[in-house]
Structure 1
Amino acid sequence: MFCRILMAATLGALPLQNAAAETYALVVGADQYPYESSLDGAVKDAEDVAAALGQAGITQIAKFIDADVTKVAIRDAWTDFVERASKDDTIIFTYAGHGSQMPELVAGDEDDGLDEFLQLPGFDRDRAEETDHEIIVDNELNAWFAEAEAKGIRVLFVSDSCHSGGMSRSFSGKTRLAPAVTVKLSAPSEEAMSGAKLRERDFRDVTVLAASLESQPTPEVIINGEPRGALSWSFARALEGAGDRNGDGMISRLELEDYVFSNVKNQSEALQVPNFTPQIPRSQDEVVVSLSRSLIRPTETAPGTGTGTGQANGLKSARDLGWTDKLALSVSGSTIAIANIGGAGVPYRWDAAAGNFYTPNGDLAGQAITEARVQGVVDKFVLLDFLKAMASQKAGTVSLTPLKDLYRSGDRLTFAAPASGYSSRVVFNLANTGEVQLIDVQSAASEAAFKLPDLEVVRPFGADHLVVIATNEPVDAIAAVLASPSIDAATLLQVLQTRIDASDSSIAIQPLYTQERP
């Protein structure tokens, strides 16, 4: 399997990169597929990643978009980079587009009998034998990576595509999964055969970051009003400096993992769990990307060490990050005046007659949402966008177990947050009805791990969002507002803007989508 081979590749313990080491980047994004359903966000992903690479001080970039995405062009660029690169240099290869499967080329090579491949725009499954030169098979990628590793070149492959999987929740966007090829094809290249011999033990300096687990799809989700890939979006923000937690000009494997896991979950509303290779880093010194010194935050040193709000810590306000206090909303069946709407992009939807409130991704976010309740739901999602903007700089870690994309009535689960290194913590829930529910406050004390066990899914169903704010800022005023019986999302937003916007505060968000058991 493409995911199995590459996800299981072994990453050696990488020392800190030499300051003179060069980084090369191969960026690919395809929306337009003449013989397949086209995508909406892959080109935006590639353009965003390329721009972020440039901001990170990486100048050796080969970018291929839509009609320029051909196997020959990509292979030539890869070969050029491998020939020019020296030991300890890095090649970053990012791909946003369709993925698919086909019967294995080498009998017994794959556990499930299927090879995975990147489907480029020129491939037509109805003329598979004639156009198979426009696919890149997992075995071929293994051979390419082996070429780099033979010279001591490090590889970071970021694949924002899909090869298998399914989801429980309804979804209105596109997935980056093309239909499987059912007929057995001839090998499109010698590498497609030789690469089948390579196994995880053969790779020491290859890091692979995939958009989701093999059991999940890779959907295009709405981010800032536009269809995007959550992995590409998160990787671009990491490159801009948000992934460099300690400000040393390098993104370690641990830093990238912490940042990407949290923000992919936030932006995909828990539809995706990224997959790293290896699953457990071998050392804290593994470096995957070196940044320009100009991106380093001037006073930030480590999580939980910031002091005070404001831009002196190098963190931006939510508005500086693009957040607005407006929500794009399409309304049917009601003419009631609703405040804080009018934002741009793909809208939320409220069907007043049915009482259903939907996210831009098509998820059912709330049931029985009446005219009396809809303002609270709108205010909830305005607040949630504020929190996501803050989390894009300082994302915390939380978890639900067992892990599902949709929970049914009667399911029991545990919500947990590890100690974060901050002195204070506030935990609350933004309910699917728009209500704000205080769960826990720890003020001016040594923060310990938090656990809320044996939660049961009950009515009403929709989308709850459990939030943990960890900070060194005073939280007594926040706690007092949350404890008020009249607390609402709009009031809480005003308090958070005053108290923690642009501060060194960690924000963790756990979406919880629920539905009646069939």
Structure 2
Amino acid sequence: MTSPIRRLVLAVLAGGFVASAGALADARAEIRPVIVGINDYAHFPDPGAAAPPTDLAGARNDAQEIARALRSAGVVVPPEQLLIDDRATLSAFLQAWDRALAGAGPDDVVLVTFSGHGGQEIETRPPFDETTDGRDETLLFHDFDPARPSLGRLTDDALQAMFLAAAPTRIVFVSDACHAAGLERDIAARITGLSRNAGVWELPLEEFAAPAESAEAEVVADAVPEEGAAPPPHVTQVFATASESRLVMETSFEGEAHGALSWFFARAIDGEADADEDGVLSQAELGDYLEDRVFTAMEQQQQPRVVPRDGAAVALPLGRRSGTTARPSAGALDDARLPGPVSVHFVGPAPFDLAACAVCVPGGRGAAVTFEAADDGWTVYNRTGDRIMTVASVDAALAQVRRAQLVATVDALKDPHLAPAGVAALQPPRRHPIGTIVGFRFTPPSSSLAYLTLFNIASDGAVQWGLEPPGVERLAPLRGPATMRFRVAPPAGADQLVALFCERPPLGLHDLLRRSGGAAPEPERVVAALGNTRCQAGRIGLFTGP
């Protein structure tokens, strides 16, 4: 197991500095970026190759999207600090790091983001601190060569030494990569995106006898804190996953491949995570936002972590801006936040003409809905490659599109100015057989949002209403966390349990769901039914079947 301090640095999305709110809220604070995105690796095959590791599809998009968000926030991103593909060698990264540090003032922030492959290598030199698995975590740059795996990579030891040497400069280091293999559920990798794990490497002993050809020459054992040591005071960590045993998969947003953590990190820079609208992102705000959005979007397969979580500690000084995420009046969902068209991908003969679907747009790997031709119809997959069910008719296929649209509507109902909805499963996000008893805990995000409305979006697209409250006689606020248990019933697949915590009972929505007869209502009708009732939305998957 990697030591806590070094898991900060690398576990998959690592992040950087913490300071008092007053120090970084100063409008004169400057964010000095180094942005890395690598799809094209010099020695890896194209994504279509049979065996991994391969080139990636979304890392370049990640870098460009983060740069876009920073520029929108008024941050200067010099061309030489945006390192993409063949410009993202290890030496180019180290030079960009030095440029970012040079001249940094006491209130400035060096923001480094990395989107690309991560890996592991067997630990064969001091400090020998990988006491559980004996493997160092690494970031792999464009020039990484599997034939000479000491080149073109940085170990977590080297990164930690760089962080310590940069003190007291405040640093945010974001690495959207992964270092180990494992998911809670089997997924159809051919349907979803690519894994950002490049495997485990063993360095030949002769490479250690020769002078080091990378930043490892700068690393000494004394520069790396002992296992269990507290993180440096100028460093904050943001992990893409809570465990090294979880893969980080690419997915798709707005028709383009991305890493989920990078996508939502860019949204956080846009201001969506600035719940109190004070122009700065605290650790708590960043953690609340990323943990909720990524966990939901990746269907519980990826859970980021922000460590530590000091509500008063600033993570990014974005400056005071207006109009980016203006608070909607009385909690109403405006048209700008309604979900867009549903991305649909076909593998083999299609069940319906895409042009005839008014809410459909063509999508590729990682589309919201994928239909794969099968002997008995079409197997349906969600964006993360989970099998939902098999459909045998055009109507059943179109019901899957409406299902995806309703799921997207629930996500659009998440209010960035409110604490996340407390929705947690009491069992792992694996597939559970029919008849199994499963449980969930529902916690109001605040005392003012205590009226719970619960419904299920079943695998076949039917909306199962009346889970909680089952009748108007039980319309009462929750006084604290509530645990509910259910028995898994057909149809098997991938249900979505939706929880709305509102300031008062949303009786209009209750009536709409009651009158819909199990059909998924359109987004506009859901919004209209909520009226001016302020609510916070949450959802969690229940995956069932053999």
TM-score of the pair, normalised by structure 1:
0.86
- Aligned partner (choices 419, 431, 436) of residue 444 of structure 2: 419
- Aligned partner (choices 209, 231, 235) of residue 238 of structure 2: 209
Q: Count residues in correspondence.
A: 496
1:53-99 per-position Cα deviation (integer Å, ceiling 9, x unaligned)? 12222225521111110112211221222231122322221110000
Task: Establish whether residue 482 from structure 1 lines up as the match of residue 505 from structure 2.
Answer: no
Equivalences for 1:5-154 in 2 at 5 Å?
5-8=5-8, 14-16=20-22, 17-19=24-26, 20-36=28-44, 37-59=54-76, 62-104=81-123, 105-106=125-126, 108-111=128-131, 112-128=133-149, 132-149=150-167, 152-154=168-170
Q: Is the CA contact 2:432–2:544 (under 8 Å) kept in the aligned structure 1?
A: yes
Structure 1 stretch 210-219 or stretch 411-420: which is displaced more?
A: 411-420
Q: Is the CA contact 1:265–1:272 (under 8 Å) kept in the aligned structure 2?
A: yes
Provide the C-alpha distance between the structure 2 equivalents of 1:327 and 1:456, rounded to a whole number of angstroms: 32
1:314-353 per-position Cα deviation (integer Å, ceiling 9, x unaligned)? xx6334xxx3344424276675677445313225215364
Provide the C-alpha distance between the structure 1 equivalents of 2:176 and 2:415, rounded to a whole number of angstroms: 19
Which amino acid in structure 1 is aligned with residue 461 of structure 2? G
In structure 2, relative to structure 1, the CA distance for the partners of 1:298 and 1:461 (3 Å cut) is closer
1:362 match: secondary structure: coil
1:436-465 per-position Cα deviation (integer Å, ceiling 9, x unaligned)? 012224998645445343334343221111
2:262 match: secondary structure: helix
In structure 2, relative to structure 1, the CA distance for the partners of 1:510 and 1:349 (3 Å cut) is same
Q: Is the CA contact 1:366–1:461 (under 8 Å) kept in the aligned structure 2?
A: yes
Task: Establish whether residue 267 from structure 1 lines up as the match of residue 297 from structure 2.
Answer: yes
Q: Is the CA contact 2:17–2:315 (under 8 Å) kept in the aligned structure 1?
A: no
Q: Is the CA contact 2:8–2:236 (under 8 Å) kept in the aligned structure 1?
A: no
- Aligned partner (choices 181, 186, 209) of residue 165 of structure 1: 181
2:312 match: secondary structure: coil
Alignment match, 1:252: 282
2:360 match: secondary structure: coil
- 5+ residue gaps, structure 1, are none
1:398 match: secondary structure: strand
Provide the C-alpha distance between the structure 1 equivalents of 2:180 and 2:161, rounded to a whole number of angstroms: 23
- Quote the offset at 1:243 in angstroms: 0.4
In structure 2, relative to structure 1, the CA distance for the partners of 1:474 and 1:236 (3 Å cut) is same
- Quote the offset at 1:299 in angstroms: 6.3
Which amino acid in structure 1 is aligned with residue 173 of structure 2? F
Query: Percent of aligned pairs with the same residue?
Result: 26
Q: Is the CA contact 1:137–1:192 (under 8 Å) kept in the aligned structure 2?
A: no
Task: Establish whether residue 218 from structure 1 lines up as the match of residue 248 from structure 2.
Answer: yes
Provide the C-alpha distance between the structure 1 equivalents of 2:64 and 2:3, rounded to a whole number of angstroms: 25
Alignment match, 1:182: 202
Provide the C-alpha distance between the structure 1 equivalents of 2:407 and 2:159, rounded to a whole number of angstroms: 39
- Aligned partner (choices 333, 344, 356) of residue 328 of structure 1: 344
- 5+ residue gaps, structure 2, are 10-15, 45-53
Q: Is the CA contact 1:396–1:420 (under 8 Å) kept in the aligned structure 2?
A: yes
Provide the C-alpha distance between the structure 2 equivalents of 1:429 and 1:78, rounded to a whole number of angstroms: 48
1:101 match: secondary structure: strand
Provide the C-alpha distance between the structure 2 equivalents of 1:454 and 1:440, rounded to a whole number of angstroms: 12
1:178 match: secondary structure: strand
1:273-331 per-position Cα deviation (integer Å, ceiling 9, x unaligned)? 113323xx2x320110112322466864xxxx9625366xxxx6334xxx334442427
Which amino acid in structure 1 is aligned with residue 286 of structure 2? L
2:249 match: secondary structure: coil
In structure 2, relative to structure 1, the CA distance for the partners of 1:234 and 1:499 (3 Å cut) is same
Equivalences for 1:186-205 in 2 at 5 Å?
186=208, 188=214, 189-194=216-221, 197-199=224-226, 200-201=229-230, 203-205=232-234
Which amino acid in structure 1 is aligned with residue 302 of structure 2? Q
- Quote the offset at 1:4 in angstroms: 4.4
Which amino acid in structure 2 is aligned with residue 165 of structure 1? A
Provide the C-alpha distance between the structure 2 equivalents of 1:89 and 1:446, rounded to a whole number of angstroms: 45
Alignment match, 2:12: none
Which amino acid in structure 1 is aligned with residue 442 of structure 2? A
Which amino acid in structure 2 is aligned with residue 330 of structure 1? F
1:34 match: secondary structure: coil
Task: Establish whether residue 383 from structure 1 lines up as the match of residue 406 from structure 2.
Answer: yes
Structure 1 stretch 391-400 or stretch 358-367: which is displaced more?
A: 391-400
Q: Is the CA contact 2:450–2:479 (under 8 Å) kept in the aligned structure 1?
A: no
In structure 2, relative to structure 1, the CA distance for the partners of 1:504 and 1:69 (3 Å cut) is farther
Alignment match, 2:462: 435
Alignment match, 2:360: 342
Q: Is the CA contact 1:55–1:292 (under 8 Å) kept in the aligned structure 2?
A: no
Structure 1 stretch 182-191 or stretch 475-484: which is displaced more?
A: 182-191
Provide the C-alpha distance between the structure 2 equivalents of 1:178 and 1:81, rounded to a whole number of angstroms: 28
Alignment match, 2:48: none
- Quote the offset at 1:197 in angstroms: 2.8
Q: Is the CA contact 1:171–1:362 (under 8 Å) kept in the aligned structure 2?
A: yes
Which amino acid in structure 1 is aligned with residue 39 of structure 2? D
Q: Is the CA contact 1:465–1:510 (under 8 Å) kept in the aligned structure 2?
A: yes
TM-score of the pair, normalised by structure 2:
0.82
Alignment match, 1:363: 386
The RMSD of aligned alpha carbons is 3.0
In structure 2, relative to structure 1, the CA distance for the partners of 1:473 and 1:39 (3 Å cut) is farther
Structure 1 stretch 63-72 or stretch 6-15: which is displaced more?
A: 6-15
1:118-159 per-position Cα deviation (integer Å, ceiling 9, x unaligned)? 01111111133xxx341111111101111222xx22222211
Provide the C-alpha distance between the structure 1 equivalents of 2:475 and 2:105, rounded to a whole number of angstroms: 51
Which amino acid in structure 1 is aligned with residue 147 of structure 2? D
Alignment match, 2:397: 374
Provide the C-alpha distance between the structure 2 equivalents of 1:445 and 1:226, rounded to a whole number of angstroms: 43
Alignment match, 2:493: 462
1:156 match: secondary structure: strand
In structure 2, relative to structure 1, the CA distance for the partners of 1:96 and 1:155 (3 Å cut) is same
Which amino acid in structure 2 is aligned with residue 240 of structure 1? D
Task: Establish whether residue 285 from structure 1 lines up as the match of residue 285 from structure 2.
Answer: no
Which amino acid in structure 1 is aligned with residue 468 of structure 2? D
Q: Is the CA contact 1:318–1:502 (under 8 Å) kept in the aligned structure 2?
A: no
In structure 2, relative to structure 1, the CA distance for the partners of 1:482 and 1:79 (3 Å cut) is same
- Quote the offset at 1:230 in angstroms: 0.5
1:52 match: secondary structure: helix
Provide the C-alpha distance between the structure 1 equivalents of 2:403 and 2:376, rounded to a whole number of angstroms: 20
Q: Is the CA contact 1:390–1:502 (under 8 Å) kept in the aligned structure 2?
A: no
Task: Establish whether residue 234 from structure 1 lines up as the match of residue 264 from structure 2.
Answer: yes
Q: Is the CA contact 1:429–1:437 (under 8 Å) kept in the aligned structure 2?
A: yes
Which amino acid in structure 1 is aligned with residue 279 of structure 2? G
1:360-399 per-position Cα deviation (integer Å, ceiling 9, x unaligned)? 4432012455555333222111111222334384653421
Provide the C-alpha distance between the structure 1 equivalents of 2:269 and 2:293, rounded to a whole number of angstroms: 13
In structure 2, relative to structure 1, the CA distance for the partners of 1:8 and 1:33 (3 Å cut) is closer
Provide the C-alpha distance between the structure 1 equivalents of 2:103 and 2:37, rounded to a whole number of angstroms: 24
